[in-house]
A and B are shown apart, each in its own frame.
Chain A
Amino acid sequence: MELVRMEGIVKRFGSITADDHVDFDLMSGEIHALLGENGAGKTTLMRILAGEISPDEGKILIRGREVGMLNPKKAMDLGVGIVHQHFMLVEGFTVAENLILALEESLVGSLREVSSRIVEVSRAYGMNLNPNAVVADLSMGERQKVELLKVLCRDSEILILDEPTTVLTPDERRNLFSTLLRMKERGKGVVLITHRLEEIFQVADRVTVLRRGRVVDTRFVDEVSPSELAVMMIGRDLPRVVRPDPPSSNGVVLKVENLSSGRLRNVSLEVRRGEILGLAGISGNGQKELVESIVGLRKVSKGKIYLEGVDVTNMTPRRLYDMGVAYIPEDRVGEGIVPDMSIAENLALKFYRRMGSLLLDRRGIVEMASRLMESFDIKPKSPLLPAGNLSGGNVQRMVCARELSTEPKLLIAHNPTRGLDIAATSQVREMIVEQSKKGTAIFFVSEDLDELMNLSHRLAVMSSGEIVGVLNPREYDPERIGKMMAS
């Protein structure tokens, strides 16, 4: 049965046409993947289906019936559930409280019911979640699960998942996929937005490729190849980015010594000039604490951090920045940008200080920003647009542009390619590799093991707040690393 049919959908934002006469349909019992570059209009199309954005043209049929003007409530009643790319959780609330908000349960008396529902559903779908945990304490992976739960608890028939796997560990991803397959057997329809081609081949039945707001084609997954999809998406196939030759000089840039605080237990590590040190681990095992301690966002109680031999333990982010530390945070929307400020202003968040005196050099900022937008290929090329309107990939390019433009000595990158399309991913990797060739020491924290093994000169593995081993490329073996991560 046809669950959804969207015909001739057009959506414009000012001069940008996000979706340009898009046709899309979803059958019951199918997983339909939506693929396309950052900014191709995938999220916009699905937000239209979820009633969050009204289209300028086109019509929507759900179960064969035309629905007219949608709003979120109406879409929800029609069985459309959406899990957003960026989390929409109240950080100070517990998991159960967030669920209550989403499910519109009355507050009184339902907390216990919701808690047991959470336990039940999350167990059925293989996600381990404590209903009483406060969201602010959860890792990105765990937060994504809360978002999934919101929709799963509502029993939606039409499930939209906007890049749900970007924050999941390989295990969690497998679990999610078996959940999706189970839903499919029950006759539900799933739209899966993803940038990972291998996922499409793992679970999807059909795939629709969008490019600059237009449908390139809709194909059965059995009948296409990965490189065909890449060509459909960006017009060419992509080279693989690999680590550069190991650096010759070996001055130590970052040195962490016996760091213990919060979840961290006796962490020691070193990154040298021009070296890429990877950090592998399942999300929530102390990576965030480690990174935040190094960049000065978290007080360290025990242990020392040195930058080129200088003790920088517990220095403010500003001093660290002045000493040449750059940081690409994991939660780029929550921590990397000020959504209400323009792209130019966001790019200037660091360098504005070096320009002019007391006054803000506004012209200088826009000029510099335009240059950065050009060289880092940030689209659309309008420096005065609020940064909150950028697509995920462009937000990340903007953060990279800001951080790398300062010629840092040390770059700390936390999940920098998460949620990026294949072109952007390879661009960001390229930028990082280029930066390391210039002699910058790079501490590369990621949950994508393939990426880590391809890029790192050495790979540290973290588990329960401890570094359980540091491997050389000869020793890279997914099986072995997987075991170390779970130890």
Chain B
Amino acid sequence: MRLERSKRRNGVLTRLIFSFLAVLVASMIYMLQGVDPLDVFSALISAFTTKVGFSELLVRMIPLLLISSGLALCFRMKFWNIGAEGQYIVGAMAAFLAVESTRQPIVALLSAFAAGAVLAVPPALMKSRLGVNEVLSTLMIYYVVYWVFQYLIHGPWKAREKVGEVSYGGFAHTSIIPAELGTVPGTRISPVMLFLALSSAVLIYFVMERTKLGFEIKAFGGNPKAAEISGMSYFRTAALTMMISGGLAGLAGAGDLLAIQHRLIPEFPCGYGFTGIITAWLGGTSPLGLIAANMFFGGLLVGGEEMMIVYSLPFGAINVFNGLILMFVAAGEFLTRYRAR
């Protein structure tokens, strides 16, 4: 048997169909837990139809969109950055330090971008110089960052002060930051972050279509050997791509700290960096595709959380969705792209 790439590419439609199939299978799994599948759907749909649901959907879409825009760029180059979660955390940490010392949200955002960008470079270096697989290096850096983060908030950064009558001494988290990004009244949406997120989707489209960097990304993604022979530098292209990707993920971390959480807690890294892999893949480098995919997943997250609370499902239940969708879309992609002969 041989597999051959077929030319057909009706991506968006098949992806939608397979996502829907995944939702069906997921609801069957929830059914085993004693949940009525119809309730699953109404919970999901409420994320899109109710005001509260939709605003929470946007709250989650913002970091997802920032992260997945960057990842989409990496994936066009076939550079498999799966460490966005680490870049997100490091962005939040940098923002925390910056806002503590300067009280300027702008400075915090800039430092977050820089920190995420810097953290993303070593995998590019290791791959181009030593041939280290980027999947391993990005994932390993994520683990290191994750545990450093946990150490800091359980140790040096742990809040000591009292706020009114409540002492923070018992729980592990940092003190509340001294400045924040404004939100739309009655919601947790930060207009600044929403704007940045939407721009990031447009930005990467622009990078791909209009810049030399995008041209190089395309060439390396299409035939690395030909790109190299033409004098393009793998390290330079991969490093720049990763800096954009890491920077955007860092920005997402800063946004969540400055506009939503206001302090760092152990659960701050909640998996956007991994969900973003799926949405980047679904959306590709098309702005509309990215926005649609991330709204869909934002909705899934909101609906899933609601179900978890109403039916007291285990914490991991929502990940069933993510996993299934990834699996189904990957299978769908494979089935439509390749024909067996």
Contacts and interface: CB of A to CB of B under 8 A. Distances in A.
Partners in one complex: yes
Interface of A: 71-73, 88, 101-102, 104, 295, 297, 316-318, 320-322, 327, 329, 334-341, 345, 348-350, 352-353, 356, 358-360, 362
A329 B225 CA distance: 11
Given A297-B228, A360-B215, 9 more contacts: A316-B231, A317-B230, A334-B223, A336-B229, A338-B218, A338-B227, A341-B219, A341-B222, A349-B232
B341 A350 contact: no
Contacts, number: 78
Contacts of B160: none
A345 B215 CA distance: 8
A-B CB proximity, top 5 nearest: A318-B231, A338-B222, A321-B231, A349-B230, A72-B341
14 contacts: A88-B2, A316-B231, A317-B229, A317-B231, A318-B232, A320-B231, A334-B223, A335-B229, A339-B222, A340-B222, A349-B226, A350-B230, A352-B215, A356-B212
A338 B231 CA distance: 14
Nearest to A317: B231
A322 B230 CA distance: 11
Interface residues of B, number: 22
Contact of A322 (B214, B215, B231): B231
B211 interface: yes
Dominant secondary structure at the B interface: helix
A73 B341 CA distance: 6
B230 A359 contact: no
Contacts of B219: 338, 341, 345, 349
A297 B212 CA distance: 23
A350 B225 contact: no
A337 B226 CA distance: 6
B8 interface: no
A71 B341 contact: yes
B1 interface: yes
A317 B233 CA distance: 9
B162 interface: no
Contacts of A71: 341
B129 interface: no
Contacts of B226: 335-338, 349
Interface in B1-16: 1-2
B218 A317 contact: no
B212 A335 contact: no
Interface in B28-56: none
A71 B4 CA distance: 13
A328 to B, nearest CB: 10
A337 B228 contact: no
A362 B341 CA distance: 39
Contacts of A345: 215, 218-219
Given A72-B341, A73-B341, A360 B227 contact: no
A359 B212 contact: yes
Nearest to A331: B225
Contacts of B229: 295, 297, 317, 327, 329, 335-336
Given A334-B225, A338-B223, A345-B215, A360 B210 contact: yes
A95 B160 CA distance: 67
B230 A360 contact: no
Contact of B233 (A318, A320, A327, A339): A318
Contacts of B211: 358-360
Nearest to B216: A352
Nearest to A349: B230
Most chain A CB neighbours (cut-off 10 Å) among B2, B212, B214, B230: B230
Most chain B CB neighbours (cut-off 10 Å) among A72, A349, A362: A349
A349 B222 CA distance: 12
A218 to B, nearest CB: 30
Contacts of B228: 297, 317
A327 B1 CA distance: 36
B1 A360 contact: no
A104 B233 contact: no
B223 A339 contact: yes
A359 B210 contact: yes
Contacts of A359: 210-212
Contacts of B218: 338, 340-341, 345
A360 B222 contact: no
A438 B255 CA distance: 60
A337 B224 CA distance: 10
A336 B222 CA distance: 12
Contact of A316 (B215, B222, B233): B233
B222 A352 contact: no
B8 to A, nearest CB: 14
A297 B225 CA distance: 9
B212 A360 contact: yes
